[in-house]
Structure 1
Amino acid sequence: MRRTAIVTGGTRGLGKAISIALQSQGVEVAAIYCSNVGAAQAFSTATGMRSYKWDVSDFDACREGVSAVEKDLGPVDILVNNAGVTGDAMLHRMSAEQWARVIDNDLGSVFNMCRNVIEGMRERSFGRIINISSVNGQRGQAGQTNYASAKAGILGFTRALALEGARKNITVNAVAPGYCDTEMVAAVPQDILKTIIAGIPVGRLGAPDDVARMVAFLASEQAGFINGATFSVNGGQYMS
């Protein structure tokens, strides 16, 4: 049976690698993006996957978007909540807008997307939800009280929804990547980046494929007995 997946933030960075990994398993993927039209068009041309544009921090946009995907591709069996933003500042300098933007995009979007697929998954007695957290949601990070709060909140959300969906054959798990070789990390000043890499026991940044392989496994039929878990993919930078 061919499954259908939605990957938010699915046309660039980690999301792009996740979309490609799921496609390689025979999954029909809808990759969601918000702003970079050129990157989304290039992604769809290169992969043959459909890309859809909506703001995952907007509940109604998520409802309409999920409806469009299901009309085009069929019921959503797999959801990967990968979309996220940063808005770094020390708390004593952080604005309310910086706080709200990160919380709404990184945590609020997880509710928005899950709420709009969960009823269908329950009706069909099947679902795979994978939420992308972060090493900084596990350990904290100065200058990221908003981001760390959102990513830590994802872990609690994951465990609670895992309990709700288990009897309906819906598994909900989280993946917490460390620092990976993406556009977001490339923007970090080189001196800081060198310090970060020095603190990673394997001695390198993660590759997007390192994360994508874990997500693809959790989305598979073989992962049906894994539920409510958090998988750290961080090269040993943080162990819990």
Structure 2
Amino acid sequence: MTETAEPNVAVDYPEVRAIVAGGSSGIGYASAAKLAALGTRHFALMSRDKGRIEAARDRLLNEFPEATVEAIAFDAVDPKSVEDSIDHAATALGRVDVLVNSISAPATPELLFRTPIEAIPDMLIQQGVPPMLLTRAVLPYMRERQSGSIINIASDAAKAATPGETVLGGAMAAIVMFSRAAALEAKRDGIRVNVVTPSLLSGTPTTARATKEGFSKKLFEKAAALAALGVANAEDQAEIVAFLAGPASVRLTGQAISVNGGISAF
């Protein structure tokens, strides 16, 4: 925590130092790869699983050999683990310009009356708490520099009441409102906080599970039929993440942006 910058100045991609939580696969890894393609060279990738995040580090280095990548395994719902891991990442990077929060727990849509009541508290914690802890942990580093971009990943379940996504929708709505309030607080320190809210994604293990059978299969088949522009994938989400991380979005904060191929409009 030694470097300083002018307030409200977004760092261009080649100078960005980025933490990507949930960087082992999906939107997280795609976002890191997109930033690397735009010239970013300094990353800390974080995930719950040590083996997977080290494999992701190796994959990113294979694609971009000139990059430096720190791989950090952590418990995304444990405050001390989150704080220690952000401290580790910030020390390794020298500073933090961008934080992407793409931590998520597997969740298959199901009607509420079929959801075990004892599972609900843990579902809310696993889905909703990680972006809040990570955002809070990184703020001191960004406040010191009077600059930074935080991008939280939620889902369109935050915006549209959808059967089968009662608990998930509650957690996603919490992330969106948390991010909007954090944006209003952090703007005084030159920090932007935005949310990307994807809907159905193609090519992910979560979607493969959800479209296999049962209620969720019917739900996502209907959603796919509405995506007249095509069902979005992780790379589509990474495009908007990269935009929010870069200088072109320097005046944009407190927004929840959907890239969903036309499934819905908000």
Structure 2 counterpart of 1:219: 245
Moved more, 190-199 or 128-137: 190-199
Aligned-residue offset at 1:236: 1.2
Is it true that 1:14 corresponds to 2:27 in the alignment? yes
- SS of the residue 2:49 aligns to: coil
Using the alignment, how far apart are the partners of 2:117 and 2:126 within structure 1?
14
Letter in 1 for 2:17: T
Structure 2 counterpart of 1:196: 223
Aligned-residue offset at 1:176: 0.8
Structure 1 counterpart of 2:73: 53
Letter in 2 for 1:18: S
**8 Å Cα contact 1:59-1:112 kept in structure 2:** yes
Is it true that 1:180 corresponds to 2:201 in the alignment? yes
Identity %: 29
- SS of the residue 1:139 aligns to: coil
**Would you say how many aligned residue pairs link Structure 1 and Structure 2?**
238
Using the alignment, how far apart are the partners of 1:171 and 1:110 within structure 2?
14
Is it true that 1:135 corresponds to 2:150 in the alignment? no
Using the alignment, how far apart are the partners of 2:20 and 2:123 within structure 1?
19
Moved more, 102-111 or 51-60: 102-111
Moved more, 104-113 or 209-218: 104-113
Using the alignment, how far apart are the partners of 1:96 and 1:124 within structure 2?
44
Structure 2 counterpart of 1:112: 133
Letter in 2 for 1:142: P
Q: TM-score, normalised by structure 2?
A: 0.83
Letter in 2 for 1:229: Q
Matches within 5 A, 1:1-240: 2-27=15-40, 28-35=42-49, 37=51, 39-48=52-61, 49-85=69-105, 86=107, 88-181=109-202, 182-187=204-209, 188-189=211-212, 192=218, 193-202=220-229, 204-240=230-266
- The unaligned stretches of length 5 or more in structure 2 are 1-10, 62-68
Deviation digits for residues 149-194 of structure 1 (CA, Å, limit 9, x no counterpart): 1111111111111111112110111111121121110112265344
Deviation digits for residues 47-78 of structure 1 (CA, Å, limit 9, x no counterpart): 12332111111111001101111222222221
Using the alignment, how far apart are the partners of 2:26 and 2:154 within structure 1?
15
**8 Å Cα contact 1:161-1:172 kept in structure 2:** yes
**8 Å Cα contact 2:27-2:237 kept in structure 1:** yes
Aligned-residue offset at 1:116: 0.7
Using the alignment, how far apart are the partners of 1:139 and 1:14 within structure 2?
21
Aligned CA RMSD, in angstroms, stands at 1.8
Using the alignment, how far apart are the partners of 1:61 and 1:73 within structure 2?
18
Using the alignment, how far apart are the partners of 1:95 and 1:44 within structure 2?
37
Using the alignment, how far apart are the partners of 1:73 and 1:16 within structure 2?
18
Using the alignment, how far apart are the partners of 2:111 and 2:222 within structure 1?
19
**8 Å Cα contact 1:87-1:146 kept in structure 2:** no
Moved more, 47-56 or 226-235: 47-56
